């Protein structure tokens, strides 16, 4: 089940800070992009309703005012809201072992033991392919030479980690994807690790 390419993922990996993006930097840059897009969209909308119309009741006016306040909300999304997500996405080292199961040690504190689903990104009625741990409910599978860990985080949000080995650079590349709420935008960034 585990190919030679996936065995290359095994080992102790140290973060290459120069080639990696931090959660905070990626989140701040993406929030800036989202806020700029909101500003552009707001400038392009036109309200053709007559706000002084007596036909609108007080309730309708309150609904309209609340909707406008929500639309104007420019607060930044706090990416990696749980401590465990931050531990995963800010870990200075990763110890990774891929066999019948996946064992991951993020930094020196957070350990995960995950079951690999041989069917890939597929679910069964029994749900045995999903691992439930302190971080959340995770589906782990191998796809195109990558190890993929999709997690529905306890407390809300989703996180996807994609690990691949770059043989030309002899590095482990982790692509992280975060979604803080269902139907919300996805934050994506890469972290690069060297083998110790």
Among residues 133, 100, 94, the alpha carbon closest in space to that of 117 is found at: 100
Give the pLDDT score at 143.
Answer: 93
Give the pLDDT score at 122.
Answer: 83
pLDDT of residue 2 exceeding 70, the answer is: no
Worst-scoring range by mean pLDDT, 18-32, 133-147, 167-181? 18-32
pLDDT of residue 6 exceeding 70, the answer is: yes
Distance, CA of 111 to CA of 127 (rounded, Å): 22
Q: Are 79 and 159 in contact (CB under 8 A)?
A: no
Q: What is the CATH number of domain 4-22+80-195?
A: 2.40.128.20
Give the pLDDT score at 151.
Answer: 95
Q: Are 11 and 95 in contact (CB under 8 A)?
A: yes
| pLDDT tens-digit readout, 75-123 | 556 655 678 888 999 999 999 999 989 999 999 989 999 999 988 888 7
Worst-scoring range by mean pLDDT, 22-26, 33-37, 50-54, 172-176? 50-54
Report the length, in residues, of the chain: 196
Give the pLDDT score at 81.
Answer: 64
pLDDT of residue 70 exceeding 70, the answer is: no
Q: Which has more pLDDT, 85 or 55?
A: 85
Residue ranges per domain, the chain? 4-22+80-195
């Amino acid at each position: 089940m585990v190919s030679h390419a996936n065995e290359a993922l095994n080992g102790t990996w140290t973060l290459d800070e120069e080639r990696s993006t931090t959660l905070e930097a990626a989140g701040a840059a993406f929030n800036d992009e989202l806020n700029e897009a909101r500003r552009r969209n707001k400038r392009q909308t036109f309200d053709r309703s007559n706000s002084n119309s007596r036909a609108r009741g007080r309730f309708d006016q309150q609904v309209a005012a609340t909707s406008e306040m929500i639309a104007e909300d420019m607060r930044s999304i706090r990416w990696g809201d749980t401590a465990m997500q931050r531990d995963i996405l800010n870990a200075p080292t990763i110890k990774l072992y891929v066999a019948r199961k996946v064992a991951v040690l993020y930094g020196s504190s957070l350990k995960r033991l995950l079951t690999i689903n041989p069917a890939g990104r597929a679910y069964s009625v029994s749900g045995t392919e999903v691992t439930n741990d302190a971080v959340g409910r995770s589906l782990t599978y191998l796809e195109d030479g990558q190890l993929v860990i999709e997690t529905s985080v306890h407390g809300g949000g989703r996180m996807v980690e994609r690990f691949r080995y770059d043989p030309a650079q002899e590095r482990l590349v982790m692509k992280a994807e975060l979604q803080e709420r269902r139907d919300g935008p996805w934050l994506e960034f890469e972290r690069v690790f060297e083998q110790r």
